[in-house]
Structure 1
Amino acid sequence: MESDLSYPDHWEADVVLSDGATAHVRPIRSDDAERLVEFYARVSDESKYYRFFAPYPRLSERDVDHFTRVDHDTRVALIMLVGDEMIAVGRYDRTRAGEAEVSFLVEDGHQGRGIGTVLLEHLAQAARERGLHRFVADVLPANRKMITVFVEAGYSVDDHFEDGVVHVEFEIVPTDHSLQVMAAREHRAEARSIERLLTPRSVAVVGASRSVGKAGQALIRNIKDGLDQGFTGRLYAVNPEATAVAGVTAYPTVREIPGDVDLAVLAVPAEAVNDVVLECAAKGVRGVVVVAAGFAERGDPEGRARQTELVRVARAHGMRVVGPNCLGIINTDPQYALNASLASVVPPRGRVGLFSQSGALGTAILSDGAARGLGLSTFVSAGNRADVSGNDLLQYWRDDPATEVVLLYLESLGNPRKFSRLARRVAEIKPVVVVKGGRSTQGVPLGHTVRPIEVPPAALDAMFRQSGVLRVDTISEMFDVAQVLAYQPLPTGDRVGIVGNSSALCMLANDAVVAAGLDVGCDPVDLGVTASAEAYASALADLSARTEVDSLLVVFAPAVDASSSEEVARVLADASSSGNKPMVTTFLGIRGVPEEMRRFDEHGVPRRGSVPSYPSLEEGARALAHVTSYSAWRRRRHGHVPDLDDVDPDAARRHAEAVLATAAGNEAIDLTTAQTMALLAAYGIHPLPVIAAHSLDDALAAAEQLGGEVVLKATASHLRHRPDLADVWRNIDTAEEMRDAWQTLSSTLADPAEAGFVVQPMATAGVPVAIWAREDPMFGPVVSFGISGVATELLEDRAYRIPPLTDSDAAEMVREVKAAALLFGYRGGDMADVAAVEDLLHRVSRMSDDLPELEGLELNPVLVSETGLAVVNASARLARPAPRPDWYARRLA
């Protein structure tokens, strides 16, 4: 068992295969000997020949011992398991410095499921950890599947025919192309896994009950109702004490159901759930929905252990889990008409996909949506979010033709870095609206087995904006925005035209539009209290034709002798359907889409042109403002990640490793000035030189060595960045001035030994800015920017982004802080070299993205002049990194 002493348990991973099923990847162990022998016996002679280049019908004891005893360094092997059965093995053996030979063997019945590519990703990740950068392999020419695995991995493959075999070589350092290929595979697999849950052809309700008020009774009746609405699949009840439930044939156990079961909905007590999941595994069920409570949300070890075991068993046998402690799932497509939830009120069919982490809140969310007439395509309540998460639904909804708008109620983010990447890809083609619960505390609800977010709320907001996500504060506001997105076109600008039948309301509408951050394109059109439907039609036609109007806010209040509301509603709907500018209304104080203002497609689904209404002008204007900001994001150029010269990531990694080698255990290390300089130099960042001055003589010698004007300053943490700037003495040009500075600072600040005095060249005058980077356990790297000084700290006037930064990201960061005007000649000041600031942001972004060891970095101040910048102070902190949540290998959280 000596090879297991250094067993790298962080290489273990649950993965999704190309068909949407799950499996488990882990390093091989010496106790896998019997499992390996059984696996090898199931492999065909042809596959064995391809692997060993000769007939190899069975493994000898020596072979088994050799293959199962590895050192997890020069010899690494990863196996893939479904249940307790090995279905594949991949391995590499180091051949020389930086290089290893890689090979795979996949059981024939499981070939074609993307197993080889998954194992290659995880082997490459392990190899990079061990200092390798290249894989080689010899493949028989007839083994086209294996050659394809290498070629389609996204790496630049060099292959040539040599001595009867194809010799393959490729670098395993991640590239933009290889990451794009991996992300595309991940997208297809995870989307497929959700599709299997939402489009079952057979459903079993385990715990189906004949007692009114029981969850099992509600579930069986809700699913059964779908049989009358178009669902053509099979429905089974599982109840050991009944032959039928709600008219549905019942069976004692899942395993005794005669047909296949795609989806199992579990309404059994928490303590029985894991036994039922094992039965589902034996039956070949593809996914489970667990509505029962009694898991990690209890907050005790027993509940957490039960939830962990639920996910482990389900994933090990190829199943995804919705829940536990959830409301369920809904698919309104008539082909499935699936309401596998506890919700008695379900919104009509529509174009909105809705995800809610809260089961308890899910019922209220669905009721609100139904009351507004907002139609849904699909709904998933994740409850404790033990497995299926919002990220999975983003993967599915991106390509789902039935979903045009995505709504997410999130209480926690298991992988914010991945969420940012996925949300951005979705937002490029479909709007994503998010309500984030717990914003004020950044806490995590009981039951959600993720760490709390440590970055400030402003950083979370910045991540949403960077990804094109619309973050709103309440569920009501989420639906307000969704009504516009689902039924109205996107505006091409921020100018609003107002029309109404009340001068007072038109004036209030004007104020509401301005308060929401929009512009009023022209004077409001007051039709008067006696306005007819024809007057509305004429005014709307005129406003819609104006180039200075991008969207419309219509006010209708009942008045004596006014046209009937039905006639006005028809006019509004007709104008909206025939126009290309979004319209929102305050129509009789109605919230939602009034029946008279709905327009339906051939399937009876409300289509674009239906007009949303709001009880107040402020709500309508606010919803329009959110949609306008999203439209602007869609139109805006998002830029590219620029190439940087004078960057050497390998040198930085070697330097970081050398520093951390001196650390005791896993403690973090604050770098010395020289160490910080060396680390930054690897990314083309060169702070002004600094010479320590422990005495006046040291200071005089340093000034002479540096030449020209210098500064004397204190570097002790409690003395730096004082508001009165008393920690720095500038413009020292002579020995006498240095003596005066030394005496004054020593007497007013602290003893020189305590103050940490240094001498530094005098930088060119400029605007002081600051750049920070930190490694967050959940987000990974986060970069922030602000004008240096006390005001920035007190007012939190910082811009945040998640690397890598595009050129547009960097430009927006510099300009979005409130004090940015100081960089652009405020009150007669000089124009700062903003391009140099953006370049520095890119270098810090690249550095923090490359080096998970970089726990923290601060460049403060950086003086930005008209023609460049000078990094005056720099500090860095390194620590042994935990694996980032978004590895270069696919894995489930």
Structure 2
Amino acid sequence: MDEAADYPAHWEADVVLSDGATAHLRPMTPADDERLVEFYARVSDRSKYYRFFAPYPTLSSRDVERFTHVDHRDRVALILMVGDDMIAVGRYERLSATDAEVSFLVEDGHQGRGVGSVLLEHLAQAARERGVRRFVADILPANHKMISVFADAGYTVDNSYEDGVAHVEFEIAPTGSSLEVMAAREHRAEARSIERLLTPRSVAVIGASRWREKIGQTLVRNLVLGGFTGPVYAVNREAAAVTGLPAYKSVRDVPGEIDLALVAVPADAVADVVLDCAAKGVRGLVVVSSGFAETGEPVGRSRQAELVRLARAHGMRIVGPNCLGIVNTDPAYSLNASLATTLPPAGKVGLFAQSGALGSAILGDGAARGLGISTFVSAGNRADVSGNDLLQYWRDDAATEVVLLYLESLGNPRKFSRLSRAVAEIKPVVAVKSGRSTQGVPLGHTVRRIEAPADALDAMFRQSGVVLVDTIPEMFDVAQVLAFQPLPTGRTVAVMGNSGALCLLAADAAVSAGLDVYGDPVGFGAGATADDYRKALRAFVDEPAVSSVLVVYAPAVDGPGGGDVATALAEVAASAGKPVVTTFQGQRGVRGPAGVPSYPSPEEAARALGHATEYAEWRRRSHGKVPRLDGCDAAAARKLARAVLSAPGTDPAEGAELEPARLRELLAAYGVDLPPMVPAPTLEAALTALGELGGEVVLKATSPRLRHRPDLGAVWRNIDTEEEMRDAWATMARTLTDPAEAGFVVQPMAPGGVPVSIRAWADPMFGPVISFGVSGVASDLLGDRSYRIPPLTDRDAAEMVREVKAAALLMGYHGGIMADLGAVEDLVHRMSRLVDEVPEVGSVELDPVLAGESGLTVVNGSARVAAPAGRQDWYTRRLP
């Protein structure tokens, strides 16, 4: 081993295998010599033959030294660990500057678990970092499993056969196909890992207590009284029985198999429990114990990190710690593995909540409304299982038709955006995100703050099709419509009821919610009967121009009761084919077998219907495709950025601002032309630049302090003579006081146009973000900018340009020009692609860009490069 080579710690990863279990992947080291020998002894002779093309029963000392001593550059080996045991190894050895031979060996008992595909992904990522561009391998034709690993990876594979050996070659650059394959495998594996938690055949409560006020007994009682269909085992070191169940001193003593363990022991004892569960073969953990990162203390955070490390290393996933628990209302399981004493009935809603404290209240609200749930997960500190994992599971879960998320933090917003969009394409996702204004992170959630503005976070939700609401009651209001009523086919709502005043309020509320009211509200008067409601609702249901109906009912002092009216409405709504919502004053919930939602006020009913309508529109429309862009050279841009970062005196972690010439080169790599900017620190330099550039030029200040201050006169246009340059220089130097600090440059005059601004940057938590706005102080002061998360589809870019309030300036407002919006969208795509594909580009800003009637001109810009942090998992599956 080359002692000078740094151990690539960022290659380490916890991964989920295809059966939902976890394992730990890391580079091999010389300390693995005994582990390698033990692993090789467990491998069958057949697998050894496939690896070495000859009988190879044991490894010699020379073999062991060669295999374990690698340089992490030209010779790389990654091993997969479960507990302390190596179960697989993958390696490559460089053959040339760009080619490397790749090979794998997987223990027979772990073949068929997706081990080979995980190793290939991570080896390819490591190889790309080291400059390798192509993998080659020789495989015996009978080794069908290894051939399928390469064939199914999504790369373009060239096969040939010679002397009875299959020779495989393929480029390892990520392709659309390989990324789709990786995402599909990730989806299946993570969904399976959650399924293992929610569908246990047996449950053990570790820390089961004899005392009624203890959480250990609450867990046992809820499991038993909830009718869990499998055996429940109580584990208590001191008791012989708990609530009528025999108690065992350790989970190792339980006679039967255990799928799920509920852990309710003191925090300092949890690590030992995890090891006992690993020895027993437990598949998943729900840790309700507190005393971890939520304490805010180093000991608690360290204890939580160790909990996750131990569990994942032994193949288990964790819900919690400091959580309420999990619920599955499927009669095949009837699992209430939680501290909640009140549960909604079985239903269509999957519910995820991070807060254990709010979890009970959330479940109670759902139960009071009659809103049934399919599954519920309270993640607590969200040390492992997160909302992203649940999205993977609920996407294919036939029992879940609506997904509700209460989020306190986002561990991986980029992945959340991708997953939530995939789910929203087939079933609605409604979310409450606390701390949207402050971007705060609760104690216990070991994630970084999102530095992107709150508007960017909201835009990410909209882009993904997520219905974002402000409160938990509003989340349930929307769910009542989406879970029980068909989606609206348009924005037109009819309003009817027995109170003219309430009908007018309902109509106003509908307009405020973005709906169009059909005709005039229909009021029957206080004496309206159930039959009046039935006939009026039937007429609106049969009217093609009406997409939904909002019904108000105010009980009259001497009039009929609301029961008959509710029955009549439910009868019609059952076959309506369009949503019907009601306002029965003071009543909230779902009424009747047809599931007609009721709200205490017209405003709440209209708001819920408005959200459902917006979601239906998002789902109906085409979301576009990620366009193919010509003239984008990520390799050239990356090479430039790395050259800047490796320059003497540059701290890669701190980064560096690009000089104008470097900026032009970077933008040119993505097909963007930046007119030359000649530095003019003196009048003589400015006059020389005028002569070199010829024609009309501008003199301007480029200091960030002055760039967006038109009131300071930092730009002088239409200069074409030395006299005009002297005049411009003297005036600006006098106004701005210090030409050197102002960063004077001379630049060719650009054609006129509407000035716009495009900014793209890499948020340390959020990942790449792109924003657009009309350039100017007013737009900045009012926050009139749009945001999106790459990769952008053509629809994303088009909406982004048009949704800012000042977009009318690009479309001929008050006789102005009709700007070339296609050129603006193309530039948005290119800058989005730049920060997405070149992680060394920390930020880039083009401001102003003059959008003309035919094309555009980038007048000024800036960019900063820095060593990328936290994005090594681009093209590999790994748990956070």
What TM-score comes out, normalization by structure 1 length?
0.97
Aligned partners of 1:3 and 1:69 also within 8 Å: no
- Provide the residue aligned with 1:808 in structure 2: 795
In 2: Cα distance, 1:711 partner to 1:403 partner: 62
In 1: Cα distance, 2:5 partner to 2:537 partner: 76
Long gaps (5+) in structure 1: 600-608
1:217-296 equivalence runs, <5 A = 217-227=217-227, 231-296=228-293
Is it true that 1:455 corresponds to 2:452 in the alignment?
Answer: yes
In 1: Cα distance, 2:397 partner to 2:603 partner: 33
In 2: Cα distance, 1:225 partner to 1:290 partner: 21
* 1:83 maps to amino acid: G
- Provide the residue aligned with 2:42 in structure 1: 42
How many correspondences in the alignment? Answer: 878
Is it true that 1:433 corresponds to 2:420 in the alignment?
Answer: no
In 2: Cα distance, 1:71 partner to 1:265 partner: 43
In 2: Cα distance, 1:19 partner to 1:752 partner: 66
In 2: Cα distance, 1:17 partner to 1:175 partner: 22
1:383/1:372 Cα in 2 relative to 1: closer, same or farther (>3 Å)? Answer: same
1:598 to 589, 592, 598: 592
Aligned partners of 2:566 and 2:592 also within 8 Å: no
2:704 to 712, 717, 721: 717
Greater CA deviation, 46-55 or 558-567? 558-567
Query: Deviations 1:688-726 (Å, cap 9, x if unpaired)?
Result: 221112222322222232222211111122222213260
- Provide the residue aligned with 2:348 in structure 1: 351
Aligned partners of 2:696 and 2:719 also within 8 Å: yes
Query: Deviations 1:271-304 (Å, cap 9, x if unpaired)?
Result: 1111111100000000010101000101111111
- Provide the residue aligned with 1:629 in structure 2: 614
- Provide the residue aligned with 1:558 in structure 2: 555
Is it true that 1:658 corresponds to 2:637 in the alignment?
Answer: no
In 2: Cα distance, 1:381 partner to 1:3 partner: 46
Structure 1 residue 745: Cα displacement: 1.0
Structure 1 residue 740: Cα displacement: 1.3
In 1: Cα distance, 2:475 partner to 2:738 partner: 58
Long gaps (5+) in structure 2: none
* 1:173 maps to amino acid: A
* 1:681 maps to amino acid: A
2:538 to 507, 531, 541: 541
- Provide the residue aligned with 1:512 in structure 2: 509
In 1: Cα distance, 2:513 partner to 2:22 partner: 46
- Provide the residue aligned with 1:848 in structure 2: 835
Aligned partners of 2:769 and 2:787 also within 8 Å: yes
- Provide the residue aligned with 1:137 in structure 2: 137
Is it true that 1:78 corresponds to 2:63 in the alignment?
Answer: no
Greater CA deviation, 105-114 or 752-761? 752-761
In 2: Cα distance, 1:319 partner to 1:3 partner: 35
Aligned partners of 2:678 and 2:689 also within 8 Å: yes
Aligned partners of 2:712 and 2:735 also within 8 Å: no
* 2:46 maps to amino acid: E
Structure 1 residue 244: Cα displacement: 2.1
- Provide the residue aligned with 1:186 in structure 2: 186
Structure 1 residue 162: Cα displacement: 1.7
Aligned partners of 1:8 and 1:27 also within 8 Å: yes
SS in 2 for 1:218: helix
1:560/1:12 Cα in 2 relative to 1: closer, same or farther (>3 Å)? Answer: same
Aligned partners of 1:3 and 1:70 also within 8 Å: no
* 1:865 maps to amino acid: G
* 1:233 maps to amino acid: G
Query: Deviations 1:218-248 (Å, cap 9, x if unpaired)?
Result: 1001000233xxx431111111222321222
In 2: Cα distance, 1:803 partner to 1:338 partner: 39
Greater CA deviation, 883-892 or 312-321? 883-892
Query: Deviations 1:89-128 (Å, cap 9, x if unpaired)?
Result: 0000111011111000000011000000000001011111
Aligned partners of 1:780 and 1:885 also within 8 Å: no
- Provide the residue aligned with 2:472 in structure 1: 475
Structure 1 residue 755: Cα displacement: 2.2
SS in 1 for 2:846: strand
Is it true that 1:825 corresponds to 2:812 in the alignment?
Answer: yes
- Provide the residue aligned with 1:605 in structure 2: none
In 2: Cα distance, 1:2 partner to 1:362 partner: 53
Aligned partners of 1:415 and 1:885 also within 8 Å: no
1:753 to 736, 740, 745: 740
In 2: Cα distance, 1:243 partner to 1:393 partner: 37
1:500 to 497, 501, 504: 497
In 1: Cα distance, 2:78 partner to 2:740 partner: 55
In 1: Cα distance, 2:556 partner to 2:491 partner: 31
Is it true that 1:839 corresponds to 2:833 in the alignment?
Answer: no
1:665/1:846 Cα in 2 relative to 1: closer, same or farther (>3 Å)? Answer: closer
- Provide the residue aligned with 1:733 in structure 2: 720
* 1:464 maps to amino acid: F
* 2:592 maps to amino acid: R
Is it true that 1:578 corresponds to 2:565 in the alignment?
Answer: no
- Provide the residue aligned with 2:624 in structure 1: 639
In 1: Cα distance, 2:707 partner to 2:422 partner: 43
Aligned partners of 1:292 and 1:324 also within 8 Å: yes
Aligned partners of 1:3 and 1:72 also within 8 Å: no
1:678 to 626, 646, 665: 665
Aligned partners of 1:488 and 1:611 also within 8 Å: yes
* 1:264 maps to amino acid: A
Structure 1 residue 2: Cα displacement: 4.9
Aligned partners of 2:283 and 2:317 also within 8 Å: yes
In 1: Cα distance, 2:838 partner to 2:220 partner: 52
Aligned partners of 1:4 and 1:29 also within 8 Å: no
Quote the RMSD (CA, aligned, Å). 1.1
1:343/1:885 Cα in 2 relative to 1: closer, same or farther (>3 Å)? Answer: farther
- Provide the residue aligned with 2:111 in structure 1: 111
Is it true that 1:87 corresponds to 2:81 in the alignment?
Answer: no
Q: Percent identity?
A: 70
2:654 to 667, 674, 683: 667
In 2: Cα distance, 1:811 partner to 1:499 partner: 38
Structure 1 residue 665: Cα displacement: 4.7
- Provide the residue aligned with 1:604 in structure 2: none
Is it true that 1:374 corresponds to 2:371 in the alignment?
Answer: yes
* 1:630 maps to amino acid: Y
Structure 1 residue 516: Cα displacement: 1.5
What TM-score comes out, normalization by structure 2 length?
0.99
In 2: Cα distance, 1:463 partner to 1:685 partner: 26
* 2:26 maps to amino acid: R
In 1: Cα distance, 2:551 partner to 2:274 partner: 54
In 2: Cα distance, 1:809 partner to 1:574 partner: 42
1:3/1:166 Cα in 2 relative to 1: closer, same or farther (>3 Å)? Answer: farther
- Provide the residue aligned with 2:766 in structure 1: 779
Is it true that 1:766 corresponds to 2:760 in the alignment?
Answer: no
